[in-house]
């Protein structure tokens, strides 16, 4: 016990040192010497806390133009967004409840864990259903409202049936979690709720992240406007798995409008933060302790990278949630299989004893009950394998790394555990469910593009280059998305950036890892396996990806779960003073994260009018804003005229309500060829917006852009065919065709 107390006290000292070093170390921002200087400037620089400056605000002409593209039956405000998000959330939960009822309600003994998995199963099923409906061209609002109403009514009927027991259930729930009603627990719960609020509120505003506006939202916007899910050869990213984006497509169908639906869908995706936190608490409560689960949830939500990802509308938190859920179900399967193996051995012994003494009726009856229990556990294992298939299938439907880092390891584990017990049904159930819940996007690519994992592995599927790519553009794609170097610096720098030097890094990452290594033998098995999986994921991230920071988000809840376990061990062994110091470190880390995350909440006008945010020039870009200012009335007439604005260089086009032709940089060669034909033809586009700044950025990075663009610019400079109506130095040029 003395050594345990000494190691725990040493862990508190390590936490204090690592926490202090986090703030005193040089920051990535060159204008600040360290994080303390940055925070001091941040707190007292009043302009950061002001609303959007006047020069960033749209003119009345631009506002009026965008107001004419408001939603069809609801005003654009946060209440309408919340209404659509609430309807979809109820649909998700009711859908999941129907599936769990069909599976005879597994995990009955863990209500909180069952609730989380019910929501996740419902979201996965709704995503797959939307994908199949989109493939056959059934993206109609009336159909989605009919399906939603039918599913929600079944949930209401279920609630009515159990209403008599609700009072007892609530009383039991409060009694079961009464240990959380302590001052320390209440403080952590309030902080968790505050972080979740900071994650969800900005998600209700129009997007400002480039990737979100380029393809996360733009792809489903194009699907909704066309009435079906189809291939988009001009946008390579939009042909990857879009399982999370399908939930945004559902919001568009429910609202009847792509813009309002996008904001409601972003809100739905942001709910993955509180749901993952709840799942962490449920796992900690069941397998370690309530305090470990609560601290784990706190570490997760206080990570700035997690909250900023939700605020922007990115999908990595959704993959994170399903990775953790897959691990949770897999853990249940391992436990049930262990119990099944023990029961199988006992049943064999009882059958031998029964053969020796057939007159012993008590023994044979007991053997029959054992066989019955054995069959029930086999059935439960198959049910859990079905849920695991849904979780892993949805992870694969969100991103390709989900198939590699979540679905494949889960299949290997289930196959290994089931084969040792000579069980085939769980393996079959897992595979069929994973294909059903995650295969729609791979099926879509196989049918429409001839490559289920477009644009990867194209040579394996009979084509040298994917659709929409040339040899030069595909070479640039491979260069950009391949691991960047194998020197010590190239390997260590991304890891140091994620755990330490990034502005979105958590101050608790290094203390958690250091304490886990020091107290490795005292950690529960679940915490150790969480860290092992995080390490394997980190290796896979290094070997197979281009090492973007947010791609590591799936390991954050596993680190958080281990952190909750190790801090629970430390707080159980140290003195009162050391415990207060450790709690102070947790509170200070929360304060730091809250300050870092306050800028997008207040400084960028999160609480402003959505109409004002939608027409903000800082988001639209100079070219489109100036085009609206010059030609707003004519653009409004284009809404149903069949004409399209041509954009060269710019691909973040989600906010633009008028039909456009555009291309991402990797698809630029074929796009530029078609542009040249249009410009030299008899009926060229009426307006062409050239983003010279964006072209220059691509030309000076490894992303690159088609060299054919310069020839197109020469065609546009022909005064006999086109007239420049706006020119901003080397930034933007707008051309208008001559009548």
Same domain, 625 and 536: no
Kindly state whether residue 608 falls inside one of the protein's structural domains. no
Give the pLDDT mean for 714-720. Answer: 87
Place of tokens 């941040």: 42
Mean pLDDT in residue range 147-158: 90
Q: What is the 3-state secondary structure (H, E, C) of 96-140?
A: HHHHHHHCCCCCCCCHHHHHHHHHHHHHHHHHHHHHHHHHCCCCC
Structure tokens at 235: 């946008």
In a domain, 476, yes or no: no
Share of the chain above pLDDT 90, in %: 43
Whether 134 and 163 map to the same domain: the answer is yes
Q: What is the pLDDT of residues 611-646, one digit of tens each?
A: 777 777 777 788 888 888 888 888 887 766 678 899
Are 310 and 333 within one domain?
A: no
**What is residue 530's predicted lDDT score, i.e. its pLDDT?**
94
**Which alpha helices (H) appear in 136-257, and where do they start and end?**
141-161, 166-176, 183-200, 210-211, 218-226, 243-255
Do residues 337 and 421 make contact, with C-beta atoms less than 8 angstroms apart?
A: yes
Place 231 in a pLDDT band, splitting at 50, 70 and 90: very high
496 & 532 share domain: yes
Least confident of 12-26, 530-544, 553-567, 632-646: 632-646
Residue 224 lies in a domain: yes
Residue 657, C-beta contacts closer than 8 angstroms, at least 6 positions apart: 66, 69, 259, 639
Q: Domain check: are 411 and 540 in the same one?
A: no
Give the count of beta carbons closer than 10 Å to the beta carbon of residue 543: 10
Higher pLDDT, 549 or 602: 549
Q: Tell me the whole-structure pTM to 2 decimals.
A: 0.92
Q: Is the pLDDT of residue 147 over 90?
A: yes
pLDDT above 80: residue 658: yes
* pLDDT at site 600: 60
pLDDT of amino acid 360: 47
182 upstream amide cis, omega within 30 of 0: no
Residues 197 and 121 in one domain: yes
Pairs from 362-368 (Cβ < 8 Å, separation ≥ 24)? none
Looking at the structure, do residues 166 and 297 belong to the same domain, yes or no?
yes
pLDDT tens track for 30-59: 555 667 776 666 655 544 444 555 555 667
What pLDDT does residue 168 have?
A: 47
pLDDT in tens, 368-418: 555 555 566 677 778 889 999 999 999 999 999 999 999 999 999 999 887
Residue 323 within any structural domain of the chain: no
Q: What is the pLDDT of residue 602?
A: 58
State whether 299 and 357 are in the same domain: no
- Quote the pLDDT of residue 179: 63
Burial of 163 (C-beta count, 10 Å sphere; 0-12/13-18/19+): exposed
Residue 208 lies in a domain: yes
Q: How far apart are CA 299 and CA 319, in angstroms?
A: 18
How many domains are contained in the chain? Answer: 3
Mean pLDDT of the chain: 84
Cβ–Cβ under 8 Å, residues 138 and 308: no
DSSP class of 703: T
Examine the fold and report which residue of 424, 448, 472 is the final residue of a domain before the chain moves on: 448
Q: For residue range 47-102, what is the model confidence (pLDDT) as tens digits?
A: 444 455 555 566 777 877 887 776 666 777 888 999 999 999 999 999 999 999 88
Q: Which of 395, 210, 391, 224 lies closest to 313 in space, CA to CA?
A: 210
Please state the length of the chain. 739
Chosen domain end from 540, 569, 603: 603
Output b/e per residue, 676-699; b: 16+ Cβ within 10 A: eebbeeeebbbbbbbbbbbbeebe
Residue 319 within any structural domain of the chain: no
Residues 400 and 539 in one domain: no
Match 């450790």 to its residue by tokens. Answer: 582
Q: Is there a single domain that holds both residue 486 and residue 347?
A: no
Q: Domain range holding 718?
A: 621-737
Question: Domain end: 551, 572, 603, which one?
Answer: 603
What's the pLDDT at 350?
Answer: 46
Q: Give pLDDT, residue 111.
A: 87
415 plus 545 within the same structural domain: no
Same domain, 132 and 187: yes
Cα→Cα distances 494→367, 439, 550, 586, Å:
58, 32, 11, 25
Predicted local distance difference test score (pLDDT) of residue 135: 94
Cα separation, 716 vs 261, in Å, equals 37
Let me know if residue 84 belongs to a domain.
Answer: yes
pLDDT score at 46? 46
pLDDT above 60: residue 170: no
Asked whether residue 373 is assigned to any structural domain, the reply reads yes
> Could you tell me the end-to-end alpha-carbon distance of the chain, in angstroms, rounded to an integer?
89
């Amino acid at each position: 016990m003395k050594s345990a107390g000494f190691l725990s006290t040493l862990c508190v000292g390590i936490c204090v040192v690592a926490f202090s070093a986090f703030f005193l170390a040089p920051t990535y921002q060159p204008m600040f010497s360290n994080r303390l200087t940055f925070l001091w400037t941040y707190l007292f620089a009043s302009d950061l806390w002001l609303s959007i400056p006047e020069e960033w605000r749209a003119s009345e002409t631009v506002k009026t133009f965008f107001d004419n593209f408001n939603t069809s039956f609801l005003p654009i405000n946060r209440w309408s967004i919340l209404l659509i998000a609430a309807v979809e959330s109820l649909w998700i939960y009711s859908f999941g409840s129907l599936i769990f009822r069909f599976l005879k309600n597994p995990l009955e003994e863990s209500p909180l864990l069952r609730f989380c998995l019910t929501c996740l199963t419902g979201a996965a099923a709704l995503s797959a259903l939307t994908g199949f409906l989109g493939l056959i061209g059934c993206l109609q609002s009336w159909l989605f409202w009919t399906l939603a109403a039918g599913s929600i009514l079944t949930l209401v009927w279920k609630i009515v049936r159990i209403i008599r027991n609700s009072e007892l259930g609530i009383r039991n729930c409060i009694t079961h979690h009464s240990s959380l009603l302590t001052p320390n627990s209440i403080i952590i719960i309030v902080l968790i709720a505050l972080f979740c609020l900071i994650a969800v509120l900005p998600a209700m505003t129009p997007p400002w992240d480039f990737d979100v506006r380029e393809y996360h939202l733009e792809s489903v916007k194009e699907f909704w406007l066309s009435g079906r899910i189809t291939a988009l050869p001009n946008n390579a990213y939009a042909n990857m798995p879009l399982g999370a984006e399908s939930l945004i497509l559902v919001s568009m169908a429910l609202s009847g409008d792509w813009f309002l639906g996008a904001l409601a869908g972003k809100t739905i995706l942001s709910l993955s933060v509180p749901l993952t936190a709840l799942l962490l608490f449920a796992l900690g409560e069941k397998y370690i302790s309530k305090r470990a689960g609560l601290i784990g949830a706190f570490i997760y939500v206080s990570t700035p990278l997690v909250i900023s990802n939700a605020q922007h509308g990115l999908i990595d938190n959704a993959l994170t949630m399903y990775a953790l859920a897959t691990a949770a179900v897999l853990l249940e399967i391992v436990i049930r299989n262990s119990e099944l193996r023990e029961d199988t051995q006992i049943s064999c012994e009882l059958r031998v004893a029964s053969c020796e003494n057939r007159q012993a009726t008590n023994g044979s009856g007991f053997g029959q009950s054992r066989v019955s229990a054995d069959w029930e556990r086999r059935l439960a294992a198959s049910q859990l394998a079905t849920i695991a298939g849904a979780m892993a299938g949805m992870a694969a439907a969100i991103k390709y790394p989900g198939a590699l880092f979540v679905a494949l390891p889960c299949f290997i584990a289930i196959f290994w555990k089931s084969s040792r017990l000579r069980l085939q049904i769980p393996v079959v159930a897992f595979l069929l469910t994973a294909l059903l819940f995650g295969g729609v996007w791979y099926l879509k690519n196989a049918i429409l593009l001839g490559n289920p994992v477009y644009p990867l592995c194209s040579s394996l599927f009979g084509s040298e280059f994917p659709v929409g790519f040339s040899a030069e553009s595909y070479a640039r794609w491979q260069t950009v998305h391949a691991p960047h170097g194998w020197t010590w610096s190239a390997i260590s720098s991304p890891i140091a950036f994620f755990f330490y030097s990034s502005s979105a890094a958590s101050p608790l990452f290094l203390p958690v890892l250091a304490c886990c290594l020091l107290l490795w033998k005292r950690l529960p098995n679940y915490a150790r396996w969480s860290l092992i999986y995080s390490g394997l994921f980190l290796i896979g991230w290094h070997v197979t990806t281009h090492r973007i920071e947010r791609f590591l988000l799936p390991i954050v809840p596993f680190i958080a779960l281990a952190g909750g376990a190790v801090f629970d061990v430390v707080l159980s062994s140290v003195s009162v003073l050391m415990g207060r110091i450790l709690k102070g470190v947790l509170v200070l880390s929360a304060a730091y994260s809250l300050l870092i995350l306050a800028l997008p909440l207040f400084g960028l006008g999160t609480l402003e009018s959505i109409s004002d945010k939608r027409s903000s020039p800082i988001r639209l870009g100079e070219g489109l804003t100036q085009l609206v200012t010059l030609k707003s009335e004519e653009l409004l007439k284009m809404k149903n005229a069949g004409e399209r604005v041509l954009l060269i260089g710019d691909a973040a086009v989600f906010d633009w309500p008028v039909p456009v032709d555009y291309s991402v940089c990797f698809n630029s060669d074929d796009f530029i060829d078609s542009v040249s034909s249009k410009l030299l033809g008899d009926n060229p586009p009426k307006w062409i917006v050239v983003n010279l700044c964006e072209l220059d950025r691509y030309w000076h990075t490894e992303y690159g852009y088609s060299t054919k663009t310069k020839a197109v610019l020469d065609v546009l400079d022909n005064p006999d065919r086109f007239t420049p109506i706006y020119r901003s130095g080397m930034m933007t040029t707008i051309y208008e065709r001559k009548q």
